[in-house]
Structure 1
Amino acid sequence: MNKKIVLALGGNALGNTPTEQAEAVKITAKSIVNLVEQGNQVLIVHGNGPQVGMIYNAFDLASKDNDKIPSLSLALSGAMSQGYIGLHLQQAINTELKHKKIDKQVLTVITQTKVSADDPAFSKPTKPIGSFMTEQEAKQVAKATGSSVGEDSGRG
């Protein structure tokens, strides 16, 4: 075949906890390595909504209880999520490659996107982060934290 394939994995498909994610990528790695085994070059990109939200919220909560723990920016939370998603993917793919005796290297890259600070899109954010909640949970979180919460495409 020898095609160049870009696979896009949604953050929600990777699970809501590091444990769920590690299990999900083991399954995904088998399909990815099957494509490699057929002679394809594979590039994987991924979302990180639940993961970046988990990291951001964990640091925010921890910083309220311990003044030595800082709250994090979304940029730092995003980089951390890319790192641990990339690590899980890289480990699972490497394990599957070794199992099939395929000698290929796997690389994880942390990326940045440059945007204009005055982009009008910032006045109406469209990418929710964090876990899905019931309407009641969302109202409680919004009241307790002052965070904005919103419906995500009929999914919660």
Structure 2
Amino acid sequence: MGRVAVVALGGNAITRGGQVGTYAEQAANAAAMVEVVCQLRAAGWTVVVVHGNGPQVGNLAVQQEEGANRVPEQPLFVLGAMTEGQLGSLVELALRKAGGQWLPEVVSVVTHVLVDAADPAFGRPTKPIGPFLPEAEARRQAAVRGWVVGEDAGRGFRRLVASPRPLRILELSALRALVERGVIVIAAGGGGVPVVEESAGGYRGVEAVIDKDLAAQRLATELGAEALVLVTDIPQVLLDYGTPRARPVEEMTADEAQTYADEGQFPEGSMGPKIGASIAFLRAGGRTAVITNADRAAASLEPGASGSGTRIVATRQRLGAAG
């Protein structure tokens, strides 16, 4: 299977701040985002792509609610499946255009992810979806629609939904077979469709959105990937963010990252899930986790390369041995 990297692309990068989310806007953003996949392929990596869907699934929920008097509303997990197909197509077309003659096969797979029906996240919605709203409008929507709302990243208020931890990828064996053939696979989009086991057998969807970074970690671990690449809009992780002491981190071990997390350096609403996913990946046997922007992602997987993002490694001795 060679060197496998699972790359997580943010839904907020597909529909950026200040944009309304037209198809043309999203297609242009996807074209820029897939450059990191092309760079990794050129460097010899087999790539699996995971994408977010927070803005898109929230916007689709608004469409559902506004049209409910004419067309029956669908559950949130169904909207997740819809956006997984929508954005998977968007990313696949962008890859086919960017890759040219060298591009191997590429396929998008609607992926179901097992969660625990008793996960405490169902009682504490924290995952923001949909557009940013002024506080007054968010409170009005909460009263009218029964939403839970909260402030997100200082940019406004958004709807909050449950975000349980991913336990298992149902389509894993099929995804592994595709990866072993060298196919570029787009999977677990939006964190995948959340399902729980039925007592009588089978699975059923649940009202939730799984964090795409945690889903990417679960997929990377189950595939035995060497690298987990979490693409965001910043070049490097910052310690003491928002203070005069703020400073970037080029490399840290999983233990150091955990210490910083325990100190409260990485808030749950921003960098927390990415750091948590990176630590979990490394402690499950992964070699390197990277948090950076698209421009630095490929360089960040080459030890000692200039212009890299933040690398998180199991131990520095292990990094040296790999280099």
- Category of TM-score, reference length = shorter chain: 0.7 to 0.9
List per-residue Cα deviations over 1:105-149 (Å, max 9, x = no partner).
111011112223232220101112111112122123224433221
Residue 53 (str. 1) matches residue 58 (str. 2): yes
Moved over 3 A (4+): none
Aligned counterparts, 1:65-84, within 5 A:
66=70, 69-84=71-86
Cα distance in 2 for partners of 1:9, 1:113 equals 18
SS at match of 1:125: coil
Rg larger in structure? 2
In structure 1, runs of 5+ residues without a counterpart are none
Larger RCO, structures 1/2 (Cα 8 Å, 6+ apart): 1
Structure 1 residue 36: Cα displacement = 1.1
List per-residue Cα deviations over 1:37-95 (Å, max 9, x = no partner).
2221111111111111111221121013x1xx110101100000111110000000011
Cα distance in 2 for partners of 1:42, 1:63 equals 40
Cα distance in 2 for partners of 1:109, 1:74 equals 19
Identity rate, percent: 39
Cα distance in 2 for partners of 1:84, 1:114 equals 21
Aligned residue type for 1:94: R
SS at match of 1:131: strand
SS at match of 2:113: coil
Aligned counterparts, 1:21-60, within 5 A:
21-60=26-65
Cα distance in 1 for partners of 2:117, 2:62 equals 24
SS at match of 2:48: strand
Cα distance in 2 for partners of 1:143, 1:77 equals 22
User: 1:63 touches 1:70 (CA, 8 Å); kept in 2?
Assistant: yes
Cα distance in 1 for partners of 2:103, 2:28 equals 23
Higher strand share: 2
Residue correspondences, number: 150
Length-normalised TM-score, structure 2? 0.44
Residue 20 (str. 1) matches residue 14 (str. 2): no
User: 2:9 touches 2:33 (CA, 8 Å); kept in 1?
Assistant: no
Cα distance in 2 for partners of 1:51, 1:111 equals 17
Cα distance in 1 for partners of 2:140, 2:24 equals 26
